[in-house]
Amino acid sequence: MMDRRTDKNAKSERASAKWSKLRRRIGWMTLLALISLACAGYLLLKYAPLPAGATMQSTRILDANGQTIASLKGGVNRPTAKLADISPWLIKATLAVEDRRFYEHAGVDWRGLARAAWVDLRHMAKEQGASTLTQQLARNLYLSHERTWTRKLKEAWYAGRLEQSFSKDEILELYLNQIYYGHGAYGAEAASRLYFNKPAKELTIAESALLAGIPKGPRYYSPHLNPKSSRARQRKVLQAMRETGQITKLQAERAARENVKVRALPEEEERAAPYFAEYVKKIAVERLGIDERLMNEGGLTIRTTLDLRVQRAAEAAVKKGLKGAAEELQTALIAVDPRNGYIKAMVGGRNFRVNQYNRVFASSRQPGSSFKPIVYAAALENRTITAATRFRSEPTLFYFDGARQIYRPSNYNGRYFHEEIGLRQAIAASDNIYAVHTIMQAGPENVIAMARKLGIASPLKAVPSLALGTFPVSPFEMAYAFSVFAGGGIRAEPIAITLVQDRRGKILYESHPRREQVLEPALAYVTTHLLKSVFERGGTARRVSKMLNRPVAGKSGTTDSDAWFVGYTPELTTAVWVGYDRGRSITSGEAHRAAPIFAQFTEEALTDTPPKGFPMPEGVVHAYIDPSSGLLASPACPGEGTVEVFLQGTEPARACGPLGPVVEPETRRSEQPNRHWWKKLRKWWRS
């Protein structure tokens, strides 16, 4: 028994000795491997040559047919300057806001990285950046702007290699000549001349602080595109300079108060769809997350929804429509395909060279009566009115808020019918009294709910004046709202970019149109059928009906300072706005310019598209009604009847008089032909 135990212990000791020997070997091998890797890393870091800087390539923005809209040529404006020829204030401002420990770290600031991680962790969001100037330079020179761990590791390695190869001042000089300051300006010298028309060595504290704040977001902090954000960023840079002891409190306060005069951007050569091209760049950077430097010099291909032929038609219509008008009179036009949400044309103003503000997205313009179709759609949906509903057109007081408040709307130019009118007549003549009656019946909250379903996100208040478009809505929102009517109740997500590819053809982004049925097809059709009356006799757009050779629906809108026309066919929805940027009142003649722009553009844009009607879905019925009573027509009713459309189940069920003849034939012999057509109609109605 003892021998067995001894033998077992001996075997265990031998096994333990073998395992200990194996662990020592593994440990030595691991140590040697780590030493080898460290040596290799050191040798690579010290002696491996840096790659050549990335070659810049132009990014192309293409239309739906592959034609070039714009070519973004990065690096065109890149004069270089020695560090001694750059204002010390710009150097100090840049270091204060971008890399305070630049002269202390070796390329990667591990202390700053830990601090930034701790701040981000505390705020549960990315509050601070952690890239040093050297890392930023390495990224700009040698790497793409993809957000991956592999790129970050390469960035750190290249940063260390740069620190081995160049002095701190040389790295700083390279950085200040490489960094992008927006509007095609690369480097401090180019930016100084672009914004202030002076060499970089002459920059003041205030000017330096403004420039140093731009690279963090060249578009967002551009003094031309976002002056408020630019000034706020400038103050943040001044505060950083004060915290690091670069300037005194008094210098910071004086610089903050200084009125920095920014030079106007130089005029660009005439190019196609400039407002749309800027919009595409904006959503590519802000919505798709594409780095702005990559946008300008990464050789991307951006395919869009725009049709250059349709765009030229839009620009021609605007030019003709504003001919002879005051130079300050502005306009906006946005055209979209209601079937898929594609933007087909965009004109953001009268002259992009003079003013780059895109009025298509202006959120300060009242839509006026062009908002009424949304009111009527809400009322039709909840069955509070129909095409046969009648209200009296005359000055009227409306009580709301529990009868504590009074609203006194009036018709344009004080014109009233002074009798009861139906919905079609109210739409055609743009009667305000009828619209307010409707919103009081339907409920303002339901109208707001309808606006939200149609895609309008602008602030709206549940008050009677909402019916008359008194709350600002952008042309962009109005175009997409009416697209739901044009698309049979389907709301399509707005799309401008369909595909983004890098220089090697790799797909970085591809759109997937999203469509949602938000209205009953029958409701969309009935609304559309009623809006066609605007182009008929007595309609506000009757004078442009001869310019149109296809079925069209739409609505005009006029306020003291805004003129609108929003209309559509099954293939194209267009919103046109005309007015002054400063809210100056428009004249009657200026207000009448919107509809002709719409009409000319629509016909020219669809010149190769055969006229097509709006298809009638299930759930729609026609009824022959007496317009004076809103009831079913009969020979006993005075005047002529008219065919009207209704959502099924909402059509009148009662006639305005007994059906059939009501007078002796001998006393109405001259009316026998009329009775003959009535018998046919009655037979058709009962069948």
Catalytic residue positions, numbered: 98, 369
- What are the structure tokens assigned to 390, written together? 């009648």
CB atoms within 10 A of CB 149: 7
- Tell me the C-alpha distance between 230 and 634, whole Å: 70
The span from the CA of 169 to the CA of 181, in Å, is 20
Residues 313, 314, 319, CA angle at the centre, nearest 5°? Answer: 100
Cα gap 103→121, rounded to integer Å: 27
Report the candidate in 427, 316, 315, 318 with the shortest Cα–Cα distance to residue 379.
427
Q: Specify burial of residue 60 (Cβ count, 10 A radius: 0-12, 13-18, 19+).
A: middle
N-term to C-term CA, the chain: 113
- Backbone angles phi and psi of 561, in degrees to 5: -125, 10
In whole angstroms, how far apart are CA 629 and each of 278, 431, 434, 463, 680? 54, 18, 16, 29, 22
Instruction: Go through 644-679 and write b for each residue having 16 or more CB atoms within 10 A of its CB, e for each that does not.
Output: bbbbeebbbeebbbeeeeeeeeeeeeeeeeebeebe
How many C-beta atoms lie closer than 10 Å to residue 207's C-beta?
26
Please state, in angstroms and rounded to a whole number, the distance separating the CA atoms of residues 221 and 182.
9
SS3 content of the chain, % helix, strand, coil (to 5): 45, 15, 40
Closest by CA position to 467, among listed 407, 526, 420, 541: 407
The CA distance from 490 to 340, in Å, is 9
Q: State the CB neighbour count (10 A cutoff) for residue 121.
A: 10
Q: How many CB atoms lie within 10 A of CB 479?
A: 29
| DSSP 8-state symbol, 519 | S
Residues 79 and 137: their CA atoms lie apart, in Å, by: 17
CA-wise closest residue to 233 among 219, 221, 215: 221
Give the SS3 label for residue 371: helix
Q: What is the dihedral of CA 110, 111, 116, 121, to 10 degrees?
A: 100
- Please state the three-class secondary structure of 405-424 as a single string: EEECCCCHHHCCCCCEEEHH
